[in-house]
Structure formats: C-alpha cells, structure tokens
Structure 1
Amino acid sequence: MIIRVSMRNFLSFNEETELSMVASKVRSHPDQVYHNIVEPVNKVLKLALIFGPNASGKSNVIKAIDFIRASVTGRAGTMLPITTYFKLQAPLSNTESKLEIDFKSNDELYRYGFLYDSGKYPEEWLYQITPSSFKLLFHRKVAAGSRTIDWGKTDFGPEEDREFYDFVNKATPDNRPLLNELRQRALPLYKSVYEWFDKLVIIYPNTRRGDYLHMYTSMDLQELYRENLISCDTGISDISFVDVEQKDVERSIPEPVLRDMIANTPPLDNSLTLIHTPGSRYIMGFKDKMPFFKMMTFVHDIPNSNDRVLFDFLEESDGTIRLLDLIPLLGDVQNDRIVIIDELDRSLHPMLTKHIIETCVKNSMHTESQLIATSHDVNLLDPDLIRRDAIWFVKKNRNMGSVLYSLEEFKTRNDKDLRNAYLEGLYGAIPYI
C-alpha cells in the first residue's frame, strides 16, 4: 500500500508537496481505514480523491506516481515527458525533479526516491522505515562518469555477492535507476521492492483496460462484468462471443494487416489474440492450425418480448465503454492492488461513480488495496460517502505552481455541506471565471 508520495520541481509542482495516505483522527467511515499496519504507521487510508479546476495539476499527481513506476519497471500508463522540471521558473535555475514514495511491501515499510534530470538519474535512494529510524539500504550518486553507491545496511551474505552488486551498480547506465537494473536482471536483492511497482494499476482517460482476452476464457470474469453491467443499469443483460468469418473482421481491419497477424501468430490451439478496432473487439484463435474469430457483443433484451438483440462496441455509449475499462478494478481491489485513476468520473453518471467507490471500499474489506483518483464530480464531496481526510484539492499559486492540500487543513464541521462550501470557494481549487 502507498503511505506517502512527494514531488518537487515536477511538471506543475515547483515546491515540494506530498499526498499522504496516513489517516487522521477522523472517526467517520472506519471501514475506509487500515489499522495496525507496521510501526511507526498505524492507520492508512483506503481511499483518496483529488479535486480541482482544469489545468490545476491534478493529473500531475497521478503522473508523479506513474513516473516512479515507469522508472522502476519501464512501463508507463501514458506518454510521460523526458523533461519534467517546472518550466515557469524565472530565471531557469533548477532542472532536477525529485520524486519519492513511501510504501508497504511484504510487511515492511520502504522509502524509495530519486532525482531526475532530462533522461538521467543523478541520485537514487532506498530506505527501510523502522519504528525508530530510517535504515539506509542504498544511496547511489552519478556524476561525471562516476557511479558511487553507499550500500548502508544491505545484507549481501557472502562477500562475492557484494562484489557482484558493486559490478551491477557500475554497469547500470546513467539513464536507468539501479532498481530498474535489478529488476531487468531478475536479481533477488530487493525483489519485493521492485515487484511492488509491477502491481500498481494506473488508469488514464484514454486507457483501454477491458480484459477481454481473459474474459473469453474465464467464466468468473464474465460474471464480474455481467453483474456490474446489469447493476449499473446499462441495458446490457449479458456478454456473448459470437462466431464471425474472416471476411467480417476484414471490414474493421485492413486485409493485409489481418493476414500478417495470422501468419505471425503460432497456430496453436491455446494461442489467442485480441484484435482491437475502433468499433469492435475480436478474439482470434486456432483450431487444427486454422484460424477462427469471435466477436464480443452485448446482449440487450427487447422490451415486452422474449427476444434479444446483439450490440457491437460501436453501438454502446461512451459511458458504457468507460465502465468496461473500470470494471476490472472492482476485481483488483479484492487482490491487494493499488488502483490509481485520472478522471474517475469521466463519461459516468454521478451515481455510477459513487457506486464504484462504494464497491471498491466493500471489496477491499479483507485486503490492503487502495483507490486514488482525481475527479470533477462535486457530488463525491459527501461526508456520508468518504472521510474528510480522504479529500484533497489542487490549485495554482501566484507563481502558477500547483499546490496540493487536504480538506483536513480547514476546520470543517462534521455536518458541513462540503459540496456547496467548495463551489462557494471556501476551500479554493475552483476556476475563477
């Protein structure tokens, strides 16, 4: 789980700022808090929602987490810039971004961070957080071709292991963090740390995350989709994969492209490929070395009739397509996953957004999952839905830098109408039109 994320000189955040998931003394919604984590952290929030006007920097909080993940894993949820420093400096005096994250992995607390400057990592560090101190595991510095490292309290075992990891440090290029190099080599040192980043789920507005290939083979996943599509009143009663001919698929994808895809796919009976087109989703498989195709469709019941009709993706609403991308997260939170979403409410009715939050909290009851999201939906500013310490705002200061702050900074009565107070500007983070 995430305990804290901080950033400095990163995109629109000039000054050092942090998002803390440590719970305050708020007593409401105890089901939204994990208790007795690992000393010195006792209570951690399951949920954080970030509000603010357009261009305030909300998405850059998500990108900060994604940038750390991408640095460690080489995998990003969206295109991330090579130049990350705050550009509205006059004069330009600092091009180094600082990113840092505290998290729990395998019952241990860690702090990992680095400096980043135009494609290079001049400094990188990892600490274990103990009840009494920060235990240095490594601190790496890169400058003028020199790659020095202080291994701190790292336990290598035999001396030859220490020499090997010294070699790994020197072999790690300047444009790659050491933690990424350890992961690339599948080395055991701090495996629980770098594998933690692989489990982060980050969803942007343009993310297409529907797990349709898995759904084709998993009745449990089909049931998860079916239940939520029905409960969200989409008009869909079922999902069906129907047989189609190759010529039908060629109406959605150029024939040469499809033929190359067939030729370059091993004709094995267990080989399945998802074909993603603007209006359809197809599953391509092989039987007796011959390709076959299934089209994913949505079943709608015709009113006052026992008949049913099939809809393609192109015939469903933007909100339904967005819901298809979000439904997997309802399963993720049952499996100790951290789900981070930019614009949770995009294309969704406010009641659906509320349903997703409530379902995530309920499904995470016996896990250590978290949901962090940005939103414009002021209906979520509801003390009956979420805790006050789970509400965050982002605004621009007079120097056009983003400022992230918690509702807890305001002395707010428990019965306060947060929605109206926010729209009236009592908490800032609104557009001044």
Structure 2
Amino acid sequence: MFVQFTLKNFLSFKEETTLDMTAINAYKEHPNNLIDIGTKEKFLRVAAIYGANASGKSNLYLAIRYFQKIIKESLNNADDTKDQAISKYYIPFEFDKKKENTEFEIIQIIGDYEYKYGYEYNQERIVSEWLYRKNIATNRNTIIFERDNDSLKFGPAVKKECDMYKEQIPSETLVLTFFNKLKLQTEIFNGVFSKIMSILVADTDLFENINVLKKVLPDVIDNDKENLLKFLNAIDTGIKDIYYEQSEKDVRFLTTHYDGAGNIYNINLLSESEGTIKSIIVYIYARVTILTNKSMFIDELNVKLHPLLLKFIVDLFYDQMSKAQLIYTTHDTTLLDKKFFRRDQIWFVQKDEIGHSKLLALSDFKVRSDSSFEKDYLAGVYGGIPLIKDFEMGAGE
C-alpha cells in the first residue's frame, strides 16, 4: 500500500515536497473512503490533485515515473554507448546556477512491515541511498541498509548475505536494483522492488492507445466479460455485447447495439467514441488494480471523460474488500465537493513567481464547515488556478 512519496529538487519542485496518503484521524466524514488495516492510522483510497496549466502537477507524476525508471534501469549500463539511468533522469530545478542533487523517497506497507526507501543522486553517481523497515505490530524500526557515497552499511537482517557483494556495486547503480537481480535467501529486496514497480504510473495517453486494447482486452472478454458489460451498461454506452475476431495478423473488436425495433447492429469498436474507448481501457486497468490491491497514479485522468464517468471510476476504488488506491491529477472541479471527498483527499499544486511548485492539501487550509470547496478553489482561496492578466485584443478588420 502506498503511504507517502517525497521528492526534492526535481523539475519545478525545488523544495522537499510530500504527497501523504495517511488519513487525518480528526476527520470523521466519509469513513468508506479509507483503508483500515487494523492500526491506529488509516489510509486514503483516493487522492485528487488540482492545479493550473504549468503549475507542476504533471511534474509530480513524472517524479514517480522517473523514480521507478532509475530503479529499473540503474544496472543496465553494460553497453558504454548507452546513457546511464541517473544521467537520463536527472532533471533538477532549472533556475539555479548551481545544480544540486535530486532526492526521492517512498513509504509503502508490504505485509506486516512498513518500508521506507529512497535515494539521492546527480548525473554522475548515487550520492546516498537507504532502506528501513518498521514492524507494524511492535512499531520497531530496523536498518536494512544505509549508503553514503562509497560507504555501505547493512543491517543485521541482510548483513551476512549481502556484505560480500558491497564492493561490486557501481557508483551509478542503486543497491536495491543490484540485489534485486541476485538470487538471495532474503525476500526484502525483491519485495520492495516489486512493490514499487507494481504502481501503475501513466498519463492519459495510455488510455487512448489502441495498441493497449489489443494486448489486454481479449483476456478480459474471455474471462471477465460479464463485469465489463455491466460497466458499459452503467455508463450508458448502448453497448449490449462485445467480442473479438482474431487472425494471424491482427485482432478486431466488435460491439453489439440494438435499435428501437430490436434490430441488431455489430460495429467496429474503433467506431465508438474516443470517450467510450478510453473508458474501457481505464476500467480494465482499474479493475486489475482493485483486484490485486495495487496503486494507480494517473496524470490528467479527466481528459475525454464525462465528469459523471470520472466519478464512476473513482467510486470503483471505494470497494471495501480491496486496498487499492487511485491518485490522479485533474482540472475537472465537478468532484471538488465535500459530498464526495474528505479534506485530506484533495491536493493543490501552485507555482510562485520564481517557478517553485508547492503541493498543499486542502487540510492545510482553514475550511469552514459550510464552505464550498469548488467555489473557493475557483475564487483562488487555495491557489492552484491560473492567473489571467488583463490584455487587449484588437478587432479584426
């Protein structure tokens, strides 16, 4: 389960910034919006991030994506002609003459433990890296490893097995990546690596990519058509059936419609609206995420989705049998309402006059009990909206 993500000196986020999915216990509204794992703390199922164009909210998505990419690729530099991962994905705050290190850190719950993993890097090397584990039942913290430049110290849980390898880890390679590649008795490295990689981090283009349908939709039709059709009926697409025809070269999807007289019409899925196609892809990924208790971070989820359909997707994540989570950025203020969200579920990204992005939760503001979240947001109370300056436009001739 996704608990926190922290970044520093990445693109427009110069200062340390944290997205926290820990619920505020003082808020009693919408208890079904929370994940309860039997501890004092509960966690948010959904978080919505609002912000103006160029405010930096997409940079938050990119931070998590690049965080994953460096972990995945930092050992793949055997070919000297390839750029190192840390060089490719080092994009510090631009408006500084001195380029400082970038930092990422994630906190996740895996089984009975909370893991805190992070690293600091520049285009030349991994500067520091750390992994800590906390027993949720006893609240006891232990060190798995700590790295500071060329110094690497292992905790007792992995020291005996890992100490012999520490001189073999290149300066541009993460310890987590290195040990994930080895066959070890401990499952700590594989577990943390897999959990981080299991977060679906994507922009809206993924859900508009027809090639994605070809990869995933046949399996859904074969094994979960009933639920897919229920979804298509719930969002009023008019689709009564969906099936596919496969050849050696391609796969063709068809949808079934009825007219008022009961006549049947089968049409190519690609002839459906872009919103319908995107809805199907979003639903498939959302359902898999929910069934597997994973997390999704989607940039601009609302694009080409009707506001009521966006609400339908959000509501899927309130399945009380799942621990899945959805984090998304959006411009759509339809759901910016106390009827749908708790105050700790709503976040705003705003950029100051020198280009620094800041991430603030609605819970950071003093909000009256009778406040309209949407009205106050559009009035600029919480920031995160574009500053439209007066300008004159000449009349056409």
* TM interval, short-chain normalised: 0.7 to 0.9
Q: Contact 1:214–1:221 (CA<8 Å) still a contact in 2? A: no
Partner of 2:218: 216
The CA distance in 1 between the partners of 2:321 and 2:317, in whole Å, is 12
Distance 1:414-1:94 versus aligned 2 partners, 3 A rule: same
Mapping 1:392-411, distance limit 5 Å:
392-411=347-366
* One of 333, 342, 345 as aligned partner of 1:390: 345
How far off is 1:423 after superposition? Answer: 0.5
Aligned-partner residue type, residue 16 of structure 1? E
Indicate which of 80, 84, 104 corresponds to 1:99. Answer: 104
Q: Report the secondary structure of 2:173's partner residue.
A: coil
Quote the Cα distance in structure 1 between the aligned partners of 2:218 and 2:15: 48
Query: Which of the residues 151, 155, 163 maps onto 1:152?
Result: 155
Q: How far has the Cα of 1:387 moved from its partner?
A: 0.9
In structure 1, stretches of 5+ residues that fail to align are: 250-281, 284-294
Q: RMSD in angstroms over aligned alpha carbons? A: 2.3
Tell me what 1:45 maps to: 44
Letter paired with 2:152? I
Deviations 1:247-295 (A, max 9, x none): xx5xxxxxxxxxxxxxxxxxxxxxxxxxxxxxxxx34xxxxxxxxxxx1
1:378 and 1:186 mapped to 2: Cα distance?
Answer: 49
Task: Kindly state the Cα deviation for residue 141 of structure 1 after the two structures are TM-superposed.
Answer: 2.8
* 1:70-85 to 2 correspondences below 5 Å: 70-74=69-73, 82-85=89-92
Question: 1:235 Cα shift?
Answer: 2.6
1:304-346 deviation line (CA, Å, top 9, x unaligned): 3322221241x22221222122112133213211111111111
Tell me the equivalent position of 1:195: 194
**Percent identity of paired positions between Structure 1 and Structure 2:** 29
Deviations along 1:225-256, one digit per CA (max 9) or x if unpaired, are 32212211223222121255x6xx5xxxxxxx
Distance 1:360 1:15, change over 3 A: same
Match of 1:326 among 263, 282, 289: 282
| Cα distance in 2 between the residues matched to 1:320 and 1:81 | 36
Q: Distance in 1 between matches of 2:173 and 2:259?
A: 57
Map 1:225-236; keep pairs closer than 5 Å: 225-236=228-239
> 1:45 & 1:414 partners in 2: Cα distance?
21
Q: Structure 1 43/183 Cα, relative in aligned 2: closer, same or farther at 3 Å?
A: same
Distance 2:203 2:362 in 1: 24
Name the aligned partner's letter for residue 93 of structure 2: F
How far apart are the structure 1 equivalents of 2:333 and 2:235? 20
Decide which moves more: 300-309 or 421-430: 300-309
Provide closer, same or farther for how the CA distance between residues 134 and 210 of structure 1 changes in structure 2, counting only shifts above 3 A.
Answer: same
CA distance in 1, matches of 2:316, 2:37: 23
Aligned-partner SS, 2:41? strand
Structure 1: distance between partners of 2:228 and 2:202: 18
Aligned residues: 366
Q: Superposition pairs for residues 134-213 of structure 1, below 5 Å?
A: 134-142=141-149, 147-156=150-159, 159=160, 161=161, 165-189=162-186, 190=188, 191-207=190-206, 208=209, 210=212, 212-213=214-215
Question: TM-score scaled by structure 2?
Answer: 0.85
Please, what TM-score do these two structures have when normalized by structure 1? 0.79
Could you say if the C-alpha distance between residues 354 and 93 of structure 1 is closer, same or farther in structure 2, counting changes exceeding 3 Å?
same
User: Matches of 2:18 and 2:321 in 1, distance apart?
Assistant: 27
Q: Following TM superposition, by how much is the alpha carbon of 1:47 offset from its aligned partner in structure 2, in angstroms?
A: 1.3
| Residue 81 of structure 1, CA deviation | 5.1
In 2, the alpha carbon distance for the partners of 1:230 and 1:7 equals: 41
What is the deviation of 1:49?
0.6
Equivalent residue, structure 1, for 2:375: 420
CA drift of 1:392 comes to 0.3
1:10 maps to: 10
CA distance in 2, matches of 1:83, 1:429: 26
Match of 1:60 in 2: 59
Name the aligned partner's letter for residue 429 of structure 1: G
Between the aligned partners of 2:240 and 2:156, the Cα distance in structure 1 is 57
SS class of match (1:377):
coil
Q: 1:134: how far off?
A: 4.1
Cα separation, 2, equivalents of 1:303 and 1:318? 24
Q: Is the CA contact (8 Å cut-off) linking 1:201 and 1:338 kept in structure 2?
A: yes
Q: 1:28 to 1:296 in 2, by over 3 A?
A: same
CA distance in 2, matches of 1:299, 1:81: 47
Query: Do structure 1's residue 368 and structure 2's residue 371 form an aligned pair?
Result: no
Q: What letter is aligned with 1:236?
A: I
- SS state of the match for residue 106, structure 2? strand
Partner Cα separation in structure 1 for residue 185 and residue 69 of structure 2: 20
State the distance in 1 between where 2:306 and 2:342 align: 22
